[in-house]
């Protein structure tokens, strides 16, 4: 969508992405709940924008707290962040793993409709309340439930295992696995530079060789992916302020400390239908096309990308859907180091879903926070050197098996 007025994002914050891999995590010890993460992320943003008095609306994104936490009506937690948010409008949005992206596009629309100058967008998920096999059944609700009984016990790993298997058959398994192993290695290396990342403490040496040595085994997991091809179960929250030009002045933030939203696309495919082409993330492809067309730029103008790598094969197929490589050449593009932090197009610079973590309702907002940090020079140890001739950032947030997609184009304010 082309924007009729200027919209910005600023004051981002991520909690720790908590789960296996973090030193603080222990499955038998009590851990923080939803309200802890909501308050931590919300308060951190409010402290950067002059307090709750400056917020006009709130949007909270979450996939399935009603199952994982037996808690619904999450919009009611906005005043819990700060009493200054009491009696202000708020809404909860849900689009499976694409919920965070929907929170951002909903917030942008509020700015465009002149109902708000400052929107607090916050995403949260707490999933480590169930063992993985039971949690996988809950997460399967992001897909078409009438097909659930025909799917793998680990439903979404099974879905993307099928995509990986088709990719192996079409282009060669060894070739594909090398690209997927490189993706895994880059995500862990990037996560080691980000203190909030779930894999921040990961010290595994020789990551590519380690990944390749762990061959997929359908007797224990799924046929075409190993567990390291998958993002982990994560608890956490991310938040950011979405503001108008007047909103920036109200909160006292300079444009140099914000990113401008140039365009966005939020699109849907039919959840009841199988992919027309299992080798293509067609909904991502269309959403990226719309967003780049409306921004009047090409993918070659993008300096850094955060894409939805719920599985390494999703990272490879995402590279192709975004237009960085032709069909079948994404694995080679990644294996050659083009998506590394010092490569042709740095991607997922704090680790993406595989490395930073995947608190599902928060992921799209985490992506936006990372782009904001990178384009404004606030990424700390994870900071990359940006090409002055490529001043744009891109986020791609996907819900389900390429069904709900939000894509946003950013530029330094």
Cα-Cα-Cα-Cα dihedral sign, residues 278, 284, 287, 291: negative
**What is the Cα–Cα distance from 135 to 359, expressed in whole angstroms?**
13
What are φ and ψ of residue 248, in 5° steps? -60, -45
Query: Is 335 among the domain residues?
Result: no
Q: Is 173 contained in some domain?
A: no
51 within domain boundaries: yes
CB atoms under 10 Å from CB of 207, counted, come to: 18
Number of structural domains in the chain: 1
CATH code for the domain of 121: 3.40.47.10
Q: Is residue 41 part of a domain?
A: yes
Q: What is the pLDDT of residue 118?
A: 98
Which whole-number Å values give the CA distances from 125 to 65, 82, 305, 357, 404, in the listed order?
A: 7, 20, 23, 11, 18
- Going from the first residue of the chain to its last (413 residues), give the mean pLDDT of each consecutive group of 10, the final group possibly shorter: 94 98 92 97 98 98 98 98 98 98 98 98 97 88 86 89 98 98 98 98 98 95 97 98 98 98 98 96 98 98 98 98 98 98 98 98 98 98 96 98 98 89
Distance between CA atoms of 390 and 302, rounded to whole angstroms?
5
pLDDT score, position 48 = 98
Is residue 178 domain-resident? no
Rounded Cα gap, residues 413 and 271, in angstroms: 37
Q: Is residue 169 part of a domain?
A: no
Please give the residue range of the domain that contains residue 76.
2-131+233-256
- Flag whether 62 is in a domain: yes
Give pTM, 2 decimals: 0.98
Calpha distance 374→335 (Å, rounded):
24
Among 44, 9, 5, CA closest to 118: 9
> Taking Cα atoms as reference points, which of 274, 312, 273, 277 lies closest to residue 166?
277
Residue 167 lies in a domain: no
Strand order in the sheet with 118-126: 90-93, 57-61, 118-126, 235-244, 2-14, 259-268, 404-412, 392-399, 302-306
């Amino acid at each position: 969508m082309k924007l009729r007025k200027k919209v910005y994002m600023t004051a981002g914050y991520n909690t720790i992405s908590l789960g296996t891999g973090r030193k603080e995590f222990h499955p038998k010890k009590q851990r923080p709940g939803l309200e802890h993460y909501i308050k931590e992320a919300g308060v951190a943003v409010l402290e950067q924008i002059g307090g709750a008095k400056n917020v006009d609306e709130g949007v909270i994104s979450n996939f399935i707290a009603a199952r994982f936490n037996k808690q619904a009506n999450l919009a009611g937690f906005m005043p819990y962040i700060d009493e200054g948010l009491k009696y202000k409008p708020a809404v909860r949005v849900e689009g499976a793993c694409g919920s965070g992206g929907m929170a951002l596009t909903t917030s942008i629309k509020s700015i465009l409709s002149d109902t708000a100058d400052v929107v607090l967008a916050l995403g949260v998920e707490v999933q480590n309340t169930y063992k993985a096999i039971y949690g996988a059944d809950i997460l399967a609700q992001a897909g078409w439930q009438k097909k659930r009984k025909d799917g793998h016990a680990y439903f979404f790993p099974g879905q993307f295992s099928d995509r990986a298997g088709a990719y192996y058959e079409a282009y060669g398994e060894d070739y594909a696995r090398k690209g997927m192993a490189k993706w895994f290695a880059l995500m862990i290396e990037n996560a080691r530079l980000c203190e909030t990342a779930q894999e921040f403490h990961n010290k595994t040496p020789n990551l590519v060789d380690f990944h390749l040595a762990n061959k997929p085994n359908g007797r224990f997991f799924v046929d075409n992916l190993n567990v390291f091809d998958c993002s982990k179960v994560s608890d956490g929250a991310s938040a950011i302020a979405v503001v108008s030009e007047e909103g920036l002045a109200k909160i006292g933030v300079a444009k140099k400390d914000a990113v401008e939203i140039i365009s966005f696309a939020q699109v849907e495919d039919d959840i009841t239908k199988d992919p027309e082409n299992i080798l293509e993330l067609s909904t991502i492809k269309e959403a990226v096309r719309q967003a780049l067309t409306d921004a009047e730029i090409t993918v070659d103008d993008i300096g850094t990308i955060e894409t939805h790598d719920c599985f390494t094969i999703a990272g490879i197929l995402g590279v192709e859907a975004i237009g960085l490589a032709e069909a079948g050449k994404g694995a080679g593009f990644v294996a050659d180091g083009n998506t590394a932090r010092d490569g042709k197009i740095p991607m997922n610079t704090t680790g993406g879903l595989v490395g930073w973590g995947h608190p599902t309702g928060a992921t799209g907002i985490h992506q936006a926070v990372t782009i904001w940090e990178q384009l404004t020079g606030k990424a700390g140890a994870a900071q990359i050197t940006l090409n002055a001739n490529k001043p744009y950032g891109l986020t791609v947030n996907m819900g389900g098996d390429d069904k709900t997609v939000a894509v946003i184009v950013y530029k330094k304010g």
